[in-house]
Amino acid sequence: MYGYNPFEKAIEDVAVSDLSVLRDVPEGWYVEYKQEIPNGRSIAKSLSAFANTYGGWLFYGVKESADGRRVAGGFPGILTTEVPAAEQAIRQAASALVSPPPTFETKILNGPDKALGIDADHSVIAIGVPVGNNAPYVHGSGVIYRRVADSSEPRPETDRHFLDLLWKRGDDTKKAFDKFVHKKVGLSEAEGHISTVRICFFPDPWKERQLTSKLEFDDFAGFMSSLDPADGGIPFDNIFTTDSGFIGRQIRNNNATGAVFSWRYDYNCSSEILLPLNSVWVNEVRDMGQFLEGYEFREAFMRKSSSDNLRGFHLVDISQLYAVLYSIMRRKKALLAREGLRWRLFYKIQLSNFWRRVPFVDLKEVVSFMVQHGIPVVQDNTSYVPPGKGPNSCKEIKPYNRPEFNEEAELQIDATVLFLTLCSALGLPATAFGMAGQKEEEEEGEDLSMTRLLLLGERAQKVTMGRGKSR
């Protein structure tokens, strides 16, 4: 959230000509001008002060007027060739010299602009710093800075009341986040046996950027019903509005009023996805035979279950989970692109109703792991991935920026990390999948790639469809 915006538009929409409004905007609470790029400690001081106070705007390459009004008096800019190094210095100052690192947005405004006097080889760097909801932001020197009305420079904060307000601001945000993440999944009494995976995606978990969806209902409905693999390929056939956005649900071949695969989309561009998992009550080992019909390693798993004397439990099939997660990631990325947002988001996952339940994955490595170590029986009814509280406990997803990875490879890696982390919470570590440093069984021709997990998803889909026909 910005307490003030001199441009009255999003920073990504600001053009170099818009800088002219700064000729009437003085330095103070919300604005700071610097003709040159200062050292890292000065950059960190400005960023932390804006985040601690009301948010604001920092401009490099803008000269303060000489008449004492402290407005923008000129726009000499900085050499465009020096901009990449300047951006790197700004990022390093924020990450290394402020704790916690503040949120900020950067826009490079390149010349030429004759009216402003910006040459073709010069640029102005505009930085927007929203009000920080993870306050207080402490400078590397150990000082907490804030903006004051009558100064162009941040001042150290010594007022105990203001410091208490900063702590409260951060604490209130954390409590609101935890309340949302830890809310109980709504299931009817008849659905009490269902295990669920609830995925929360946040482009802005601290709610500092004031994101607002650009999608109208028809846009969302058309997108969520799409079968295009580029959009995730997961069609939702029941789509309507909620008090805070939209929702898509899969009701085909399901009870339309029950717990189904659903995707809630908030006006702030966050997503809440509910995945009810297929499970069956197993009184005796033979009871799982029909449920696992069509799986390659059914017999080996049943033999191990019998030897371990398993009975009186719910068996949860997570064989299709990777393929679904991969499709969800593709859809979320496409959704962000439609909003004009880059691929960077955070997630938190809630696993509900898993106490003393047994996970099943139809892979040779997983069943072999169970034969060696025993079949895992989940000990937590509800767990969170990653663990911890507050927005800082989220897992971040962002581009790898490595030439050997294309976008498709990055999506597969992100989905695999998410899948393996979930499985670990359910008793199956990465080593159970032949990953995390275990030597591949090349002599047996085993395919331990991510493609194998997608093929497993196809097999699981056929098994699931077969269950429906056998009812």
User: What are the pLDDT tens digits along the chain (471 aa)?
Assistant: 678 899 988 898 999 999 999 999 999 889 999 999 999 999 999 999 999 999 999 999 999 998 888 999 999 999 999 999 999 999 999 999 999 999 999 999 999 999 999 999 999 999 999 999 998 999 999 999 988 876 656 777 777 888 888 889 989 999 999 999 999 999 999 998 999 999 999 999 999 888 999 999 999 999 999 999 888 888 999 999 999 999 999 999 899 999 999 999 999 999 999 999 999 999 999 999 999 999 999 999 999 999 999 999 999 999 999 999 999 999 999 999 999 998 889 999 999 999 999 999 999 999 999 999 999 999 999 999 999 999 999 999 988 878 878 888 888 899 999 999 999 999 999 999 987 544 433 333 344 567 888 889 999 999 988 875 544
Residue pair 238/219 in contact by the 8 Å Cβ criterion: no
Q: Name all domains of the chain by residue range, CATH numbers in brackets.
A: 11-174 (3.30.950), 188-470 (no CATH)
| Helical segments of 24-159, H only | 40-52, 83-96
- Contact at 8 Å (CB) between 16 and 111? yes
pTM over 0.75: yes
Cβ proximity of 200 and 348 under 8 Å? yes
Burial class (CB in 10 A: 0-12, 13-18, 19+), 159: exposed
What pLDDT does 469 receive?
56
What pLDDT is stored for residue 442 in this prediction?
36
431, HSE (Cβ side, Cα atoms, 13 Å): 7
Measured CA to CA, the distance from residue 428 to residue 285 in angstroms comes to: 21
pLDDT of residue 214: 94
